[in-house]
Structure formats: structure tokens, C-alpha cells
Chain A
Amino acid sequence: MIEVTNLSKTYDDIGRGRFVAVDRVSFRVGPGEVFGLLGPNGAGKTTVLRILSTMLRPTSGRVRVLGHDVVTHPAEVRRQIGFVSNNTGIYDRMSAWEMVEYFGRLNGMPRDLLRERLETLFDQLRMNDFRHVAGGKLSTGMKQKVSIARALVHDPPVLIFDEATLGLDVLVARGLLQVIRTLRDAGKCLIFSTHIMREVERLCDSIAIMHQGRILDIGSLEDLRDRHGELDFEELFFGMLSRHDQAVEMA
């Protein structure tokens, strides 16, 4: 469903000069699979996900979503994805209902179908209590729910969650992880970026560990544990990062 091949992204940065944010990253994600991008802040996770959602253009490499290239057919790609970021991006002066409805219509959904879909989503995500409350008055958790409903409204085959649990309380974060599991079971292709290891352990079918723009290793949790001979995932993660840093220093 998603194929990323040798993806690189460089920026001109006043402080750092030519800065490589993403360095020859490759991975594939299939349907019914949760793919975790794990890495510290500044690892390049958001840049990869923004390229996937066509907001940024790759400097080199190729990204295809359901066979559509993000460079040549961005509009088609955007129709196939739902994007949830930690910055919920909720309009302050629109109610939860209006907001989700607006994005449903932007996705070209017919009114009847959209109405049905909205009712289902608001029930599933338990959002009926605040369906007419303006975005500016919602709590962070409520906002994140609206944001998820907004991403799901057109029932896209691919969902991208960019540090979506950041800033959520335990209860809401748990709810979100539950939603992701349900979506996986429904056969969706999910990409999930985070720097919280527990979430990855509990959720992801395969994991890419990113650091300084590169994927250090990629595989299922078991594969990674076997390869690095470390059962504790946190130790495995930090070990990998520090070995990479040492190698860079040596070079």
C-alpha cells in the first residue's frame, strides 16, 4: 500500500547550512498493518510523514501510496489518506460536527452518506456530548477525537498518525490506541510515529527506528530483539542510538 524508496529530504538552514532531514529512507507498509516510526525529537519522522501526505516534496527518492506517486499525483494520494497530527488543527469557530462535515464534503462525499457516516463516527468515538461545541472550547482530548473523526470521515485506506498521543491524558491516549487497533482489524494501513516505546511495543506490527534522518533498523519487535540480542525494548532502542552516535563521532 505504501512504498517508500530511498527517500531523502534536504533543507537550507541558516544555522546548519545544507541539512539532511531525511536520509535515504526506505520501507513498505501493507494493508492491515501498523507501522511504527520510532525516534527521538528531530529524527525526521514528521518530515517523512509530511512527504507521505504530499505537504512537502521529496528532494530525491520515490514515495507511492496505493500506486499513486506523491510528486506526480498529490491530489489522488490525499484522497487515500487520513492525517492526524499532534497539533490537532481544529477550527476554533466551528463546532465538532461542522468541522468533520466540512472535511467529509472536501472529500467529495454525498450529503446522505456523509450524514450517516458522521452519526456512526460520533457514536463510535463517543463525541455526541460535544457535537455542537465550538472547537475553541474543546479540551485537548476532545480536539484529538475531532481530529481523528476528521481523518476517518471519508474512510481512507491509509491513516497516518504523527505523534498523535502527544499531550493526551492516559485515558484518551488509551482510547486512541484502541481506535488504531480497530482500524488495523478493519484492514487499514496505518503509520504511527512516536517517541514513546510502550506504544510501539503494544501496537506496531513492524517498527523502523529513526535517528538523524536515517532508519537504523527495521523489522517486527521480535526480529529486532533477536537481531540485537536485547529483550528490553527501551535498552535496545538506546543501545542502537548510542552505537550510531559513536560511529558518527568515529567517522
Chain B
Amino acid sequence: MKFEHPRPRLSTVMLVYLREMRDQLRDRRTIFTIAVLPLVLYPLVGSVLLQVAQFTQEHPTSVCLIGGENLPSHPPLLAPAEASSSRALGRFADTLDEQSEGIHLVQHPLAADADPERVRAEAEEWVRSDLYHIVLWVPPGFTAAADGADQTSAASGAAALAGADALVGGESGSTAARGKSLQVFYNVASDPSRVAHQRIMRVLSAWRDQWVQERLDARGLDAAVLSPFGVETVDIAPKATRDAAFWSKLLPFVMLVWAMTGAFYPAIDLVAGEKERGTLETLLCSPALRSEIVMGKLAAVTTFSTLTAMLNVSSMLVTSLFVFRQVMPLGPDGGSMGLPPLVPMLWLLVALFPLSALFSALALAIAALARSSKEGQYYLMPLMMVSLPLVLLPLLPGTTLNAGTSLIPVTGMFLLARALVEGQYWAALIHLPLVAGVTLLCLWMATRWARRQFEDETVLFRGGEQWNLSGWVRHLWRDREGAATVGQALMCATVILVGMFFAKLVVTGGPTDWTGILQMVLLPQVGLILAPTLLMACVLTRSMRQSLRVRRPAILSLPVAVLLGVALHPTYMALGQLIQQIYPLSDAALAALQPFERIVSTAPLWQVIIVLAVVPAICEELAFRGFMFSGLVRDHGRLRAIVGTSVLFGMSHGVLQQSMAATVMGVLLAWIALRTGSILPGLLVHLTNNALSVSLGRLATSDAPWVRHFLSGDSGEPAYRLEWVLLAGCIAVLCLVYFSVVRSCEPAELGPDDGDEVNEPATAATPALAG
């Protein structure tokens, strides 16, 4: 059957785009979200912030001073008394507290025979009940103690300092010192109390300095003796970086969250909303191609996403110019909380557009899944939950733009924008190709997903039937198919990944002997990967052979697979080393691996190969290239099956560095599975690769003369000889060429490319049955 492949026409895309734009601009809700809300929201939040700030500034700190009569007369802690009542109001000496009007100081006299324990209990109660924010207790004998320290160390200025240090014992003073120390009671769980604590400690510290100063003066010592040298800090960051430090973290975050929100609501309206109103059907029976409709809608959603993000960030910047100046005082050097530098912020736009397009494509595809706008709203939160970690990751301290972070979607672009805003143009330029490549790849995949949603009649004409558990269970059993469905494949992946996650939580210590390793490998492999896979294949599908893809491949493909496993191993090792260089394992992780390697190196080789090569190869191939692949490859999902199974395969490996190598290997194994239509060749590649990995150390140290042609153990670690690496690379390429031409896969998987307008007859799942 010959299918037509018309190319999308720009004029039609523009036509759809302009209509969608006009439609959205006529929608009050859209205008409110993208234009009115940002213009009003930030000034409103700003004014509230200002008010709150004023409130906190005006809110007085209440301090209770117990035993004020025990204070020394000189230097004065308190300003001269103005009243002489028993609960006199007072204030700290002006030289100690510049903002004394913010402190509400109450003096509580201490009876000469007061029990210290009772005083302590009462003070704690007052703070706990919020009667006072802080209680300061000057115990009897405080002055004498301090003076005593002063006199016994009359000859030494430094000792005088030690004596003065004993003055403010606070919560950490030793029992002996406590009787002579001021005691400060505060509550760390209460914000006002913590603020009070900071203020009082400042006052007390200033008071102690005065004390020291006076005593040194009295002995004719220069106060400079206490600070023999000064420390001057020099921030070498360029001014642009310093000014942007805070904003370059906050603004991209705000921008991306709004780009997501700004994409989501129009996407819901333009797809789920149109489905609900019946206009999508009208559009679909016009001559516009699906790809033209998707591109037009995508462009419109991207425009709104970009506009929303830009308006929000601009409004926030402008508002913050006014608000932060008043609320937060600037550091002396224009510090980390400086005013946002406006011109560098324009770099954010560079990152905004591709990310908006990416979010828009995702939102469009997800919106297509929804039957109605209301259902679409439910999908916002999961999308946010999946995307937010990628947006939050760059905010973590220590996350910088490097080869590793460049590879992470969204995060890489975020960090690139930050580097540009901070003026690090060289770093940005170096990583630009990688970041752009990853972003474009994600964008292409998301767009493709969106387009496929528009080509899928089960998505577009989904029925509104009632779902019930018993009916669904009956349906699962009655309507079993030869292989898994996409949903069942993903379900299997979820069961495996969740199981592995909890297993990791349960297992805490590393293995100490070979039996421990046996348990550590076999239990997850058999119990958490193989068992659910076999169970699902048995219960949910009609044919275990078909759903697990256990088919007989071309006979030659089996020895070629073993050869490929051998020939590819040097490359795989090099990949592992490269990943290790970019993302080094922590010392703790390396230390944890050592006993593992030691035990494995002493265990019987045949057992090692069975446990670490044969069993994982069988279990993982049946699960990932078998059950999951058979589900994901349906309905022309070749790319979906290859990418999906390899990412899931990588995720099942736990350690990030291992996951990355496994993902790459997963792509190759999935491709071989696709080409050969069977898991067996891939299983052999997997097995050979694992077997070589676990036995390479022994091979390198063996006496066999042929080993020297391939391996050198000179550097302590077994390594392949360069000539073998090159030769093996050539052999691997030849093997791959063989797999690319071998034709033993089922025709459904190698049908014509599912480009636009290819309407392959297919059994649909539950479209609406009107008429």
C-alpha cells in the first residue's frame, strides 16, 4: 500500500497559528493570566511585603532583665534609670544599642535568697508562654565573679579577655561558669524570640567589648594587642556577577515556572477544550494536515508561554526595584542582594524560547490525552512535579554549568542562561553545543509525541464511558492480546522501579561475603525484575513467547551477538571511564565498592559469571527488551520502544554513573532487539559484556600467553591494548552492519515510517461510538 507523505505547508501553519492567537487573545481568562495577573500580582505582593516588613520593624522586642541590681556600675549595661518602680521599664545604654526604641525592657528584681532553679524555671516559662521574647538573668555574685577574674589575671590582658568571655555563658556555659555567667533564655522555635536573641547578643557583645577595653586601658595596655592582624576579604567576582548572583538564580526559576503555566492553560483550551466543544472534529476533517495543525497550535502555545514568562519576569523585576530597596538593605558592596542588573537579564530570553517551546509541546501532547478542559487541569500537577526537579536542580548550591549538567534537559539550559547573565560568556559558549543539542533533541521528541497524539484516533475520539474496577479487570483478562499494551509495559516498568527503590531502602549494609553478594544480586533480579515480568506476561497476555519476544532469530545472529559483546567491551569500558571522569564517584561510594570487588575476585569464576552475567542478562532482557519492548513497539512505536526501554533500563541501575552507561547500552540492545525481532541476540551481547566485565581482572593476571595480545595489567587495573581497542571497534562496526541488514523482525514493527497522514489500518481502543 502506498501512502502519501505531504509536507506541511508554512501558509497553513501560519493560518492555524493566527487563528489560535486571535482566539486566545479574545479569551478573557487568557488575557487575565498572561497580561493582567503579572502586572497586578507583583505590585500587590510588593505592597504586602512592604507592610509586613514595616510591621516586623515596628514590632518591639520584649526583654525581661532579672537581677539588674547585680550588674556592675561600670561599664553600664543600662541607660540611667528614669523611674524607680519595682518593675521598672528601662533601656540599654545608648552606646550599646543604636535602635533602643525597638526594645521593650522590663526589669525584674531578684530577691536575695531566690532559688536559682526556681528563677530558671520561671524564666523558661515566661519565654515559653510568650510573656517575654527573651529573659536575661544576672545571677547574684555576677559582678564579683567578673571582677575576680579581672583581678586574678591583672598581669595579662589576654586573661582579662578570658574572664570577660565567661560573662556571657548563655546556653552553652559549663556548670561551673554558669553561676558567674549571664543567662539568656530564648526559644529557637519562636521567630520573635530568635530575633530578640540576635539583638540581645549584639548588645551584650558590645558591652563585653567595652568592659575589656576599659580594663586594658586601666592597665595601660593598647587594645590593639587583642587584634594583632586584620583580615580583609576580596571578592574577585566581576561586578556583573556579584550584582546578578541572587537574581540569576531566582529569575530563571520564576521564568520557567511561568513558562510552564503559560503553556499549559492555552494548550488545554486549544486541544482538550476544542475536543469538548466539537471544533477539533471540524478542524480534523479540513484538508489541513495533522502536522500543520500541531505546528500551528504549538507555535501559538509557545507564544503565550513566552509572553507569560516575559511579562511576569519584567513585572517582578520592576516591582523588586522598588520593594527590595526598602525592605532589604543593600550590602556594602552591592552584595548578593543587589538590584537586578537589567541588561544581562535579557540573556534569559535566549533560554526562554526553546524551553517555552519544549514545555508547550509537552503540554500540547498531554492536553490531547484529556477528554475535556476539566480533565486537562488534573494533568497540570503531574507535569509540574516531573519538570520541577529539573528547574530546582540548578538552584542547589554547587550546581554549575559543566559537561555533566549540560546533558540534563532544562537544567542545562537554565545554567547556560545563568552563566550568560553572570557574564561568564566563555563557559557559556563552550557548553552551548551540548546544551543546544540536548534541548533540540527533547524538543523534537516532545513535538513528535504531540503529533502522534493528533494522529491517534483513540486519543482524539476517546469515549466518555464509565470506568469500574470489576469491568476493567474482566476486560484485562478477556481482551488479552498476544503482546503487552503500552500501558501494561509502563506498568511493568513502574512495578520494577518502585520495587527496586524500596529494596534499596531496606538493604543498608554492603555484603561481607559471597553469600551476601548472591543475595544482593539474585533477590532483586529474580524477585523484583523477573517475577513481575513473568507474572504480567502470563496473566495479561495470551502468549508468553510473543510478549517476552522469545523468538528464534536468524541463526547467524547468535554468534555475531557474542562477537559484538566481545568487540564492544573496550568501547563500553571507555564509556564507563569517560562517565567516571565527568561525574566522579564520591570517595564514600568508591570505598563501598571495594569490598564488593574484593569478594568477587576471590569467588569461583563460574559462580561469578552465572550470578553477575547470566542471571542479570536473562532477567533484564526478558523484562526490558522482552515485555516492555513488545508493549512500547506497538503501533509504530519503534523510537518509543528504543528510547523508553533504554531509559527505564538505565533507571533500574540505581547508581547514576552506572545508569548512564546502562542507558547507552540499552539503546544498542533495544535496537538489536528491534532488528532481530527477538531478545536472544541482545541477551548474548548483554551476557558477554557482563561476563567480560567481571572476569577481566582475572584474565589480566592469568598466565595464558594469548591474553597479552589483548590486555595489559601494567597500571594495576586491567586495560585493553590500544591496537585491540581499534581492531575491536572495527569488528563491532561490522557486527552492527550485520544487524542493520538482517531481516528477521515482524512486519508490523518495520512497517512504513509513521509520518504525517499515514493511516495504517489499526484496531483502535474505545473511541466514542456515536451513531
Binding site for B on A (CB under 8 A): 9-15, 17-19, 21, 39, 41-50, 53-60, 70-76, 78-79, 81, 83, 85, 87-94, 102-103, 105-108, 147, 150, 162-163, 193
User: A163 touches which one: B478, B767, B771 (CB < 8 A)?
Assistant: B771
A-B contact pairs, 8 of them (CB 8 A): A21-B769, A46-B771, A54-B285, A55-B284, A72-B3, A72-B759, A87-B278, A147-B282
Stretch of B19-27, B60-68, B150-158, B409-417 that contacts chain A: B19-27
- On whether the beta carbons of B4 and A107 are closer than 8 Å, the reply is no
* Chain A CB within 10 A, most for which of B285, B763, B770: B285
B764 at interface (Cβ–Cβ under 8 A)? Answer: yes
Number of chain B residues whose Cβ lies closer than 8 Å to a Cβ of chain A: 49
B124 at interface (Cβ–Cβ under 8 A)? Answer: no
Please give the distance in Å from A214's CB to the nearest CB on chain B: 14
Contacts of B288 in A (CB 8 A): 106
CA distance A90 to B278 in the complex (A): 8
Instruction: Say yes or no: A43-B771 contact (C-beta < 8 A), given A72-B3, A93-B23.
Output: yes
B12 at interface (Cβ–Cβ under 8 A)? Answer: yes
Instruction: Name B380-398 residues within 8 Å CB distance of A.
Output: none
Please give the distance in Å from B761's CB to the nearest CB on chain A: 6
- On whether the beta carbons of B765 and A102 are closer than 8 Å, the reply is no
With A56-B461, A91-B23, A150-B282 given, name 13 new contacts (CB 8 A). A11-B765, A13-B465, A15-B475, A19-B769, A21-B769, A39-B771, A42-B771, A50-B461, A72-B4, A89-B279, A89-B281, A93-B23, A106-B12
The chain B residue sitting closest to A9, CB to CB, is B764
Please give the distance in Å from A147's CB to the nearest CB on chain B: 8
User: A15 touches which one: B277, B461, B465 (CB < 8 A)?
Assistant: B465
User: B15 touches which one: A44, A58, A78, A105 (CB < 8 A)?
Assistant: A105
- On whether the beta carbons of A47 and B769 are closer than 8 Å, the reply is yes
Instruction: Say yes or no: A71-B759 contact (C-beta < 8 A), given A56-B457, A79-B287.
Output: yes
CA distance A72 to B16 in the complex (A): 24
B172 at interface (Cβ–Cβ under 8 A)? Answer: no
B479 at interface (Cβ–Cβ under 8 A)? Answer: yes
User: B764 touches which one: A12, A49, A54, A193 (CB < 8 A)?
Assistant: A12
User: B289 touches which one: A9, A75, A90 (CB < 8 A)?
Assistant: A75
Instruction: Name B750-771 residues within 8 Å CB distance of A.
Output: 757, 759-767, 769-771
B472 at interface (Cβ–Cβ under 8 A)? Answer: yes
Contacts of A55 in B (CB 8 A): 281, 284-285, 457, 460-461
Quick one: CB contact mask for B253-290 with A, threshold 8 Å, 1 for yes? 00000000000000000000000011111101111110
Instruction: Say yes or no: A102-B19 contact (C-beta < 8 A), given A72-B1, A107-B286.
Output: yes
- On whether the beta carbons of B285 and A83 are closer than 8 Å, the reply is yes
- On whether the beta carbons of A59 and B763 are closer than 8 Å, the reply is yes
- On whether the beta carbons of B279 and A91 are closer than 8 Å, the reply is yes
Contacts of B475 in A (CB 8 A): 12-15, 17
- On whether the beta carbons of B765 and A12 are closer than 8 Å, the reply is yes
* Chain B CB within 10 A, most for which of A14, A94, A193: A14
- On whether the beta carbons of B766 and A72 are closer than 8 Å, the reply is no
* Chain A CB within 10 A, most for which of B19, B472, B757, B769: B769
CA distance A156 to B533 in the complex (A): 53
- On whether the beta carbons of A94 and B23 are closer than 8 Å, the reply is yes
B55 at interface (Cβ–Cβ under 8 A)? Answer: no
Binding site for A on B (CB under 8 A): 1-4, 6, 12, 15-16, 19, 22-23, 26-27, 277-282, 284-289, 457, 460-461, 463, 465, 467, 471-472, 475, 478-479, 757, 759-767, 769-771
- On whether the beta carbons of B757 and A17 are closer than 8 Å, the reply is no
Contacts of A163 in B (CB 8 A): 771
| Main DSSP-derived SS at the B contact region | loop
CA distance A129 to B292 in the complex (A): 33
CA distance A69 to B467 in the complex (A): 36
CA distance A60 to B762 in the complex (A): 9
- On whether the beta carbons of A54 and B759 are closer than 8 Å, the reply is yes
Contacts of A107 in B (CB 8 A): 286-287
Contacts of A93 in B (CB 8 A): 22-23, 26-27
Instruction: Say yes or no: A71-B1 contact (C-beta < 8 A), given A21-B769, A89-B281, A90-B279.
Output: yes
* Chain A CB within 10 A, most for which of B6, B278, B465: B278
Please give the distance in Å from A58's CB to the nearest CB on chain B: 6
CA distance A90 to B765 in the complex (A): 27
CA distance A53 to B761 in the complex (A): 15
Please give the distance in Å from A48's CB to the nearest CB on chain B: 8
- On whether the beta carbons of A14 and B472 are closer than 8 Å, the reply is yes
Instruction: Say yes or no: A18-B479 contact (C-beta < 8 A), given A46-B771, A72-B1.
Output: yes
Please give the distance in Å from B218's CB to the nearest CB on chain A: 86
- On whether the beta carbons of A49 and B479 are closer than 8 Å, the reply is no
Contacts of A49 in B (CB 8 A): 771
Contacts of B15 in A (CB 8 A): 102, 105-106
Please give the distance in Å from A101's CB to the nearest CB on chain B: 10
Please give the distance in Å from B222's CB to the nearest CB on chain A: 82
Instruction: Say yes or no: A57-B285 contact (C-beta < 8 A), given A13-B766, A75-B6.
Output: no
- Across the A-B interface, the 4 shortest Cβ-Cβ residue pairs: A46-B771, A89-B282, A87-B278, A45-B771
CA distance A75 to B26 in the complex (A): 30
CA distance A79 to B461 in the complex (A): 21
Contacts of B286 in A (CB 8 A): 78, 103, 106-107
- On whether the beta carbons of B4 and A73 are closer than 8 Å, the reply is yes
User: A74 touches which one: B757, B763, B766 (CB < 8 A)?
Assistant: B757
- On whether the beta carbons of A92 and B759 are closer than 8 Å, the reply is no
Contacts of B281 in A (CB 8 A): 55, 85, 87, 89
- On whether the beta carbons of B471 and A15 are closer than 8 Å, the reply is yes
Contacts of B764 in A (CB 8 A): 9, 11-12, 56-57, 59
Contacts of A81 in B (CB 8 A): 285
Contacts of B769 in A (CB 8 A): 11, 13, 19, 21, 42, 46-47
User: B762 touches which one: A57, A85, A150 (CB < 8 A)?
Assistant: A57
CA distance A60 to B771 in the complex (A): 19
The chain A residue sitting closest to B771, CB to CB, is A46
The chain B residue sitting closest to A91, CB to CB, is B279
Please give the distance in Å from A222's CB to the nearest CB on chain B: 26
The chain A residue sitting closest to B478, CB to CB, is A17
* Chain A CB within 10 A, most for which of B6, B280, B281, B478: B281
The chain A residue sitting closest to B273, CB to CB, is A92
The chain A residue sitting closest to B475, CB to CB, is A14
- On whether the beta carbons of A12 and B766 are closer than 8 Å, the reply is yes
- On whether the beta carbons of A57 and B771 are closer than 8 Å, the reply is no
- On whether the beta carbons of A58 and B285 are closer than 8 Å, the reply is no
Please give the distance in Å from B767's CB to the nearest CB on chain A: 6
The chain A residue sitting closest to B19, CB to CB, is A102
- On whether the beta carbons of A89 and B479 are closer than 8 Å, the reply is no
- On whether the beta carbons of B761 and A57 are closer than 8 Å, the reply is yes
Please give the distance in Å from B579's CB to the nearest CB on chain A: 43
The chain A residue sitting closest to B289, CB to CB, is A75
CA distance A113 to B250 in the complex (A): 54
Contacts of A71 in B (CB 8 A): 1, 3, 759-761
Please give the distance in Å from B456's CB to the nearest CB on chain A: 10
CA distance A55 to B761 in the complex (A): 12
User: B759 touches which one: A21, A43, A70 (CB < 8 A)?
Assistant: A70
- On whether the beta carbons of A75 and B757 are closer than 8 Å, the reply is yes
- On whether the beta carbons of B770 and A46 are closer than 8 Å, the reply is yes
Please give the distance in Å from A159's CB to the nearest CB on chain B: 12
The chain A residue sitting closest to B293, CB to CB, is A106
Contacts of B472 in A (CB 8 A): 14
The chain B residue sitting closest to A45, CB to CB, is B771
- On whether the beta carbons of B457 and A17 are closer than 8 Å, the reply is no
The chain B residue sitting closest to A93, CB to CB, is B26
Please give the distance in Å from A131's CB to the nearest CB on chain B: 17
Contacts of A74 in B (CB 8 A): 4, 757, 759
The chain B residue sitting closest to A213, CB to CB, is B769
- On whether the beta carbons of A89 and B765 are closer than 8 Å, the reply is no
User: B471 touches which one: A14, A39, A45 (CB < 8 A)?
Assistant: A14
Please give the distance in Å from B6's CB to the nearest CB on chain A: 6
Please give the distance in Å from B485's CB to the nearest CB on chain A: 9
CA distance A10 to B6 in the complex (A): 28
Contacts of A70 in B (CB 8 A): 759
